[in-house]
């Protein structure tokens, strides 16, 4: 899936994200922290989301704590070299 960085999934998916308060100075998490993951409800903008113009940026994308998260593992249906089908779906829903 080719991500066009529209940011729609970072707003409209009901997912679990890294708790900003749980990120240590070196970008890792305490594996024993029970509050390291928090729920981000659908329709609520992720606290880690920023935009440069219309290009979405994930503030924690390059941190070690991002690896293995639901966001890191996210893929959509369709060919690996094709456009993001979720974006098309969300746009068709008028979100």
Distance between CA atoms of residues 34 and 46, nearest Å: 20
Site string for ligand SF4, 15-54 (x = CB under 6 A): --x----------------------------x-xx-----
Q: Which stretch binds ligand SF4 (CB under 6 A): 3-11, 19-27, 28-36?
A: 3-11
Choose between 29 and 84: whose C-beta lies nearer to ligand SF4.
84
29: number of Cβ within 10 Å: 18
Distance between CA atoms of residues 43 and 94, nearest Å: 12
Q: Which stretch binds ligand SF4 (CB under 6 A): 5-13, 19-27, 31-39?
A: 5-13
- Helix (DSSP H) and strand (DSSP E) numbers for the chain: 3, 4
From the CB of 79, what's the least distance to ligand SF4, in Å? 14
Half-sphere exposure of 23 (CA within 13 A, CB side): 18
Query: Which residues contact ligand SF4 by CB under 6 A?
Result: 3-10, 17, 46, 48-49, 56, 58, 60, 71, 84, 86-87
């Amino acid at each position: 899936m080719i991500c066009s960085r529209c940011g729609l999934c970072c707003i409209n998916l009901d997912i679990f994200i890294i708790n900003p308060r749980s990120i240590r100075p070196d970008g890792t998490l305490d594996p024993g922290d029970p509050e390291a993951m928090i729920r981000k409800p659908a329709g609520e903008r992720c606290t880690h989301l920023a935009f440069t113009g219309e290009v979405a940026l994930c503030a924690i994308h390059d941190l070690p704590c991002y690896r293995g998260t639901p966001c890191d593992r996210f893929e959509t249906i369709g060919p690996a070299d094709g456009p993001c089908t979720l974006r098309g779906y969300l746009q068709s829903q008028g979100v």
